[in-house]
Structure 1
Amino acid sequence: MNSGVQVGLEGRRALVTGGGRGLGAAIVRRLARSGAEVIVADVREDLAKELCESLTGEGCRAFPVVLDVRDAEAVAEVFRDLDETGQPVDILVNNAAVDVTKAVKELTAEEMTRVVTTNLLAPMYLCREGYRRMMARGGGHIVNILSTAALRTWTEAGPYAAAKTGLRAFTHTLFKEAQRDCPGIGVTGVVAGGMETPFIMDRFPDTDVAVLQSPEIVADTVMYALSVPPGSALAELVVVPRRETSWP
Structure 2
Amino acid sequence: MTDKLASLVQPPAAGAGPQGPLAGRTVLVTGGARGLGAEIGKALGAAGARIAVADLMLDGAEAAAAALRDTGVEARAFAVDVGHEMAVQKLVAEVAEVCGSLDAVINNAAVDVTAPIGELQAVDWDRIVRTNLSGPFFVAKHAAQRMLAQGGAGGVRGHIVNIASTASKRAWPNASAYHATKWGLLGLSHALHAELRPQGIKVCAVVAGGMRTPFLLDRFPDIDPGVLQDPAHVARSVLFVLTQPEETVIPELMVLPMRETSWP
**Counterparts in 2 of 1:207 and 1:186: CA distance versus 1, 3 Å:** same
Bigger relative contact order (CA 8 A; separation at least 6): 1
Give the TM-score normalised by structure 2. Answer: 0.89
Secondary structure of 2:164's match? Answer: strand
Query: Would the aligned equivalents of 2:22 and 2:243 in 1 still touch at CA under 8 Å?
Result: no
How much does 1:80 deviate? 2.3
**Alignment counterpart, residue 47 of structure 1, candidates 57, 60, 72:** 60
Q: Which residue of 2 aligns with 1:140?
A: 158
2:237 matches 1:221: yes
Q: Which residue of 2 aligns with 1:127?
A: 140
Query: Would the aligned equivalents of 2:26 and 2:99 in 1 still touch at CA under 8 Å?
Result: no
**Alignment counterpart, residue 116 of structure 2, candidates 86, 99, 103:** 103
Paired letter, 2:193: F
Q: Which residue of 2 aligns with 1:155?
A: 173
Q: Which residue of 2 aligns with 1:240?
A: 256
Q: Which residue of 2 aligns with 1:172?
A: 190
Secondary structure of 1:106's match? Answer: coil
Structure 1 spans left out of the alignment, 5+ residues: none
Secondary structure of 2:167's match? Answer: helix
Secondary structure of 1:38's match? Answer: strand
How much does 1:233 deviate? 1.1
State the alpha-carbon separation in 2 of the partners of residues 43 and 197 from structure 1: 17
State the alpha-carbon separation in 2 of the partners of residues 213 and 94 from structure 1: 20
State the alpha-carbon separation in 1 of the partners of residues 236 and 166 from structure 2: 18
Matched positions, count? 246
What are the Cα deviations for residues 138-161 of structure 1, in whole angstroms up to 9, with x where unaligned? 501110000101100100110000
Secondary structure of 1:190's match? Answer: strand
Secondary structure of 1:104's match? Answer: coil
Q: Which residue of 2 aligns with 1:72?
A: 85
How much does 1:111 deviate? 0.6
How much does 1:85 deviate? 4.5
Query: Would the aligned equivalents of 1:13 and 1:37 in 2 still touch at CA under 8 Å?
Result: yes
Secondary structure of 1:187's match? Answer: strand
Query: Would the aligned equivalents of 1:152 and 1:246 in 2 still touch at CA under 8 Å?
Result: no
State the alpha-carbon separation in 1 of the partners of residues 246 and 94 from structure 2: 29
**Counterparts in 2 of 1:31 and 1:86: CA distance versus 1, 3 Å:** closer
State the alpha-carbon separation in 2 of the partners of residues 73 and 233 from structure 1: 30
State the alpha-carbon separation in 1 of the partners of residues 246 and 62 from structure 2: 34
- The sequence identity of aligned pairs, in percent, is 45
Q: Which residue of 1 aligns with 2:33?
A: 20
Q: Which residue of 2 aligns with 1:193?
A: 209
How much does 1:86 deviate? 6.5
Query: Would the aligned equivalents of 1:148 and 1:246 in 2 still touch at CA under 8 Å?
Result: no
State the alpha-carbon separation in 2 of the partners of residues 4 and 110 from structure 1: 47
Q: Which residue of 1 aligns with 2:22?
A: 9
Structure 2 spans left out of the alignment, 5+ residues: 9-19
What are the Cα deviations for residues 58-103 of structure 1, in whole angstroms up to 9, with x where unaligned? 2211110011111110100112223444622101000000000001
State the alpha-carbon separation in 2 of the partners of residues 22 and 82 from structure 1: 22
